[in-house]
Amino acid sequence: MFHKEGHKIIAISFIIVVALAVATNQLISLEWLRVSLLLVLMVMLVLILQFFRNPKRHFKPDSNLVLSPVDGKVVVIEEVFEKEFYNDKRLQVSVFMSPLNVHVTRYPVGGEVVYSKYHPGKYFVAWHPKSSEENERTTVVVNNSSFGNVLHRQIAGAMARRIVNYAIEGSQVNQTDDSGFIKFGSRVDVFLPLDCKMEVKLNDTVKGGLSVLAKR
């Protein structure tokens, strides 16, 4: 199963790979070179399919839990001053995604979308300290009955050149629904109240919509 954001890219990639494979078979006489090029084309297609996969998962929404919005590795857990929306201190949890991770961004909590904004910016590598404030990014805040306003921020990385954000201010969203998609590697930051009980630690591997980041 593939995410809708990848349908066009997958179709175009498939056509290009098939065309190049036919041309390779017709134009390359050296068997070792022909086989090598065909293998490279196959690997490229598999990587694209891998990137846009959207596996079926059995979610169990819980208003007392903050779930990871994406697949990846926890690279930051720290108290910070968040100045775009809160203007006070929050717990920041950052999840880094490699190009091989599932890149669907899911709402970590359910509730009303009270803030949704796109910011153009730079393309530092996703783990760079300045990427959260200077890279291309989208910021979404959902007001939740248990945690209040929970902010998650999609951040483009050195490879990511397109962030898709589905959040519309004033809309009601469910925990684990699709919030957006980041193409080709990046990270997502989640900002939580200071009194949350953290359920992850640095370098933990998490799954979007399944792994618990924090609870009451």
Active site residues: 186
Amino acid identity for residue 54 in this structure: N
**How do beta strands 137-144 and 178-182 pair?**
unpaired
Q: Average pLDDT over the chain, rounded to whole?
A: 88
- The predicted model scores a pTM of 0.82
Contact 188, 157 (CB under 8 A): no
Phi, psi (rounded to 5 degrees) for 167: -70, 130
- Three-state SS for 30? coil
CATH class given for the domain over 65-215: mainly beta
Contacts of 145 (CB under 8 A, 6+ apart): 63, 111
Give CA–CA dist 106/69, Å, rounded: 5
Q: What is the pLDDT of residues 95-129, one digit of tens each?
A: 998 878 888 999 999 999 999 999 987 666 555 55
CB neighbours of 106 closer than 8 A, spacing ≥ 6? 67, 69, 70, 175, 176, 177, 178, 179, 208, 209
Domain limits of the chain? 4-51, 65-215
pLDDT of 131 over the 60 cut? no
pLDDT, residue 193, reads 95
Predicted confidence (pLDDT) at residue 80 exceeds the cutoff of 80: yes
**In the chain, % of residues over pLDDT 70:** 89
